[in-house]
Every structure is written in C-alpha cells, then in structure tokens.
Amino acid sequence: ERLNVKPASCCVIEDTVAGVIAGKAAGMTVMGITNTFKSEALGQAGADHVYQSYSAISCFFESN
C-alpha cells in the first residue's frame, strides 16, 4: 500500500508454507524457494512457481 502498487502487480519470494499462503491471500504472485520446505509442500500451499535457488529465480527475472 505504501508503494501504491496493487498486490496483483507484485511478486513475493517465500520459503515457508505460511508465507506462501499469506502471499496468495494478499493476491500476489508467489515464488517459493526450497530453503525451508520441499517443493511439493510449497506447491500444495499455492506457490505459482517453485525454485531450488535464488540464482534460478534470478534467471526467471532475466528471461521475462
């Protein structure tokens, strides 16, 4: 809200199931990273994308 950006225009990177659920509840695109939980758990929680490393997330942003 402070940035005057709609949640649908935001992306959040989360490493916990609770974080994924919160990001989705806020209406954001959620990228899960497997620092804490396995990819299956993050995906089942609703993550739009799941990555194994921050460099993989960086590659996603560089290609889009």
Structural domain spans, the chain: 7-63
From edge to edge, which strands make up the β-sheet containing 49-51?
A: 11-14, 29-33, 49-51
Instruction: Specify whether the CB–CB gap between 5 and 26 falls below 8 A.
Output: no
Instruction: Residues 7-63: name the CATH superfamily.
Output: HAD superfamily/HAD-like (3.40.50.1000)
Binned at pLDDT 50, 70 and 90, residue 64 comes out as confident
Q: What does the pLDDT read at residue 46? A: 98
What average pLDDT does the structure give for the chain? 95
pLDDT in tens, 30-61: 999 999 999 999 999 999 999 999 999 999 88
Q: Are 52 and 31 in contact (CB under 8 A)?
A: no
- The verdict on pTM exceeding 0.85 is yes
Examine the pLDDT at 22 and tell me if it is beyond 90: yes
